[in-house]
């Protein structure tokens, strides 16, 4: 039986979801992603919730997908049909959070990497501590950035800056995230959750149905082409994952050395 790593607390119309696997990396295992998806679905069915705050650990939001998770490794050892099915887990998690009718706010301390960044951009607002860092290193591991995150990032920062994030894998501090539109507020270190809660309680004071309608209108205007733009990213990931460069990217990361890519 899996260990619960996602906790939900309620304060009136505000729900606070804490994701903490008990280790500094707070990586997204298969089980953790399943729990985060289920919690999002449960909250979406609750009409009494106006705002949802998602937070990770006090030291790090998340280092992204857990490359050491046995279930992740097992997912690559099955047939193509099953691999495609299992590859839906991350996108499904992000979709569940994006589709929440309540306004969603993520509080980011420390590092927000890869899959953690994909999750963060699927929420409505991002509050970052001033020493937090957002980093999308998938290309440096021989992968493409997937989970429907590329159009979401483009919506927030525009195509040129999105390429610096996704293609050049630039690490962004909180100040640059704010300047580019990735962070909506920057707080002092240790204050991201408090800042996110302040926004959430402002939302909770507003008419709840109108909050949901206004959010829906904004999202429909901004994301109308997102599904089309990201329709192939799961299959692109499976193609990349079959390459020699993907194997080298993961192996070099686990061995702590620079990768040697060949285009194979």
Tokens of 78: 């099955």
Both structure tokens of 165: 């994030």
The length of the chain, given as a count of residues = 264
pLDDT in tens, the chain (264 residues): 467 999 999 999 999 999 999 999 999 999 999 999 999 999 999 999 999 999 999 999 999 998 776 776 666 677 888 888 888 999 999 999 999 999 999 999 999 999 999 999 999 999 999 999 999 999 998 999 999 999 999 999 999 999 999 999 999 999 999 999 999 999 999 999 999 999 999 999 999 999 999 999 999 999 988 988 888 888 898 888 889 999 999 899 889 999 999 998
**Helical H segments across 10-49, by residue range:** 30-44
- What does the pLDDT read at residue 1? 47
**pLDDT at residue number 241:** 87
pLDDT score at 231:
85
* Residue where the block lists tokens 């901004």: 222
**Whole-angstrom distance, CA of residue 9 vs CA of residue 22:** 18
Determine the Cα–Cα distance for residues 250 and 255; give it in Å rounded to an integer: 9
Annotation: CATH topology of 6-188: 2-enoyl-CoA Hydratase; Chain A, domain 1 (3.90.226)
- Residue 71's nearest CA partner among 114, 124, 121, 34 is 34
Alpha-carbon distance of 114 to 249, in angstroms, equals: 14
pLDDT of residue 69: 66
Residue with tokens 């969603």: 104
For the chain, give me the number of helices (H) and strands (E)?
13, 9
Residue 145 neighbours by CB distance under 10 Å: 25
For residue 75, what pLDDT is reported?
63
Query: Do residues 64 and 72 touch, judged by C-beta distance below 8 A?
Result: no
Q: Are 249 and 261 in contact (CB under 8 A)?
A: yes
What is the C-alpha separation between 60 and 39, in angstroms, rounded? 20
Looking up tokens 């650990």 gives: 57
Beta strands in the chain, from DSSP E residues, in sequence order: 6-11, 14-19, 51-55, 103-108, 111-113, 125-129, 133-135, 172-173, 185-187
Which tokens hold the place of 156? 């927030």
Reference 9, options 210, 213, 200; nearest CA is: 200
Exposed, middle or buried by CB within 10 Å (0-12, 13-18, 19+), for 134? buried
């Amino acid at each position: 039986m899996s260990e619960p790593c996602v906790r939900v607390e309620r304060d009136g119309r505000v729900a606070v979801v804490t994701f903490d696997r008990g280790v500094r990396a707070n990586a997204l295992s298969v089980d953790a992603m399943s729990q985060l998806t289920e919690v999002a679905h449960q909250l979406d069915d609750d009409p009494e919730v106006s705002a949802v705050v998602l937070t990770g650990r006090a030291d790090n939001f998340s280092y992204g997908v857990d490359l050491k998770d046995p279930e992740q490794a097992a997912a690559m050892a099955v047939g193509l049909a099953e691999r495609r099915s299992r590859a839906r887990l991350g996108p499904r998690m992000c979709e569940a959070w994006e589709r929440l009718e309540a306004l969603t706010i993520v509080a980011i301390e420390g590092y927000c990497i890869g899959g953690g960044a994909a999750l963060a951009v699927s929420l409505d607002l991002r509050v970052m501590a001033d020493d937090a860092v957002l980093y999308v290193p998938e290309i440096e591991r021989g992968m493409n950035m997937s989970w429907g995150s590329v159009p979401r990032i483009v919506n927030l920062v525009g195509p040129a800056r999105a390429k610096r994030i996704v293609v050049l894998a630039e690490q962004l501090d909180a100040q640059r995230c704010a300047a580019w539109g990735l962070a909506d507020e920057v707080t002092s270190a240790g204050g991201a959750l408090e800042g996110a809660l302040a926004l959430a309680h402002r939302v909770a004071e507003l008419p709840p149905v109108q909050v949901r309608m206004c959010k829906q209108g904004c999202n429909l205007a901004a994301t109308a082409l997102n599904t089309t733009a990201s329709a192939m990213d799961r299959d692109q990931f499976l193609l990349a994952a079959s390459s020699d460069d993907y194997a080298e990217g993961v192996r070099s990361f686990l061995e702590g050395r620079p990768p040697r890519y060949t285009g194979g």
